Amino acid sequence: MAISADYHLHSSFSGDSETPMDEMVGKGAALGLKYMCFTEHMDMDYVYAKPEEEGMFELDTESYLAGFLKCKEKYAGQMHLRFGVELGVQPHIPEKLFGYVKEYGFDFIIASSHLCNRKDPYYTYFYEGRSEEEAYGEYFASILENLKKFDDFDVYGHLDYVVRYGPKKDAGYSFGKYRDVLDPVLRWLAEHGKGIEINTGGIAYGLRELNPCTDIIRRYRELGGEILTVGSDAHTPERIADGFGRAEDVLRACGFRYYTVFSGRVPEYISL
């Protein structure tokens, strides 16, 4: 396996996973990974659809850090573990996000759009009363708004996340169809030295391509983008490094001969 770093992982410190961190690391080591970065969910001011889920995406960062340090000590010499976070970005909370990032010494930060104008594309109500194209367009437009408000991150996660959950998923979707709204996003990221990730989590949703699609990654490269991490978005051990061979093929097809890992927010480029 050419790609030996999984930089998008969740454990039981995230509200949507029940797997102990130790179990995740053990599986990663068995697969031959050299680097694993946990990116537990922190979605401030998330809009919960069900009362019983209230608070599930608000990370107890102190507990997470304590658990991470124990795991890092246990696997010293076997695995390079990194302390990361996946921040849910919304344009009305930049001060909270900036403050949170300064409080903790993260190795790596993913910015993700889990809400679009206070609605989660995971739920069917996001698509009701309008076309799939209108819903996707609104989601992509909201990313640029987020970027203009918050920039203290390393990569933007699963840029076309919305297609995982649309009525037809990515069946009628293409970069070209939304180029007018996505191109400014990619240009901003490239010009500001920010990366994107190849997120292989879409495999479990039956998508034709990974997140984001190959043409987005290729366009990012054309615009001068250089930072690209690879993550499985695994919440359970069996999904760790899933589809990494396919991710390598996409990287090469888009002109990359390396991928990126982070430590202390500093990128390192590893040859394929």
Distances in whole angstroms, Cα of residue 255 to Cα of each of 48, 73, 229, 250: 40, 37, 14, 9
Domains of the chain: residue spans and CATH: 5-271 (3.20.20.140)
Mean pLDDT for 43-60 is 93
Strands 266-271 and 258-263 turn out to be antiparallel
CA 219 to chain centroid, in Å, comes to 18
Whether residue 1 is predicted with pLDDT greater than 90 in this model: the reply is: no
**Global pTM value:** 0.97
**pLDDT 10s digits, 75-123:** 999 999 999 999 999 999 999 999 999 999 999 999 999 999 999 999 9
pLDDT at position 52 is 86
**Residue 50 banded pLDDT, cuts 50, 70, 90:** confident
User: What does the mean pLDDT of the chain come to?
Assistant: 97
The confidence score (pLDDT) of residue 87 equals 98
Q: How far apart are CA 119 and CA 75, in angstroms?
A: 39
* pLDDT beyond 80 at 248: yes
Contact 201, 232 (CB under 8 A): yes
Predicted pLDDT of residue 238: 97
Percent of the chain at pLDDT above 70?
100
Residue 140 in 3-state DSSP?
helix
**pLDDT at 49 > cutoff 90:** no
Query: Of 49 and 227, which is predicted with more confidence?
Result: 227
**Confidence grade of residue 33 (pLDDT, cut at 50, 70, 90):** very high
Under the banding of pLDDT at 50, 70 and 90, the label for residue 247 is: very high
**Nearest CA to 197 among 112, 78, 70, 77?**
112
- How far is Cα 206 from Cα 229, in angstroms, rounded to an integer? 22
Within a 13 Å sphere around the CA of 22, how many CA atoms are in the beta-carbon half? 6
Query: Sorting pLDDT into bands at 50, 70 and 90, what band is 18?
Result: very high
Q: For residue range 126-153, what is the model confidence (pLDDT) as tens digits?
A: 999 999 999 999 999 999 999 999 999 9
Instruction: Over range 43-57, report the average pLDDT.
Output: 92
Query: How does 96-126 read in b/e, with b if 16+ C-beta sit within 10 Å?
Result: ebeebbeeeebbbbbbbbbbbeebbbeeeeb
pLDDT greater than 90 at residue 51: no
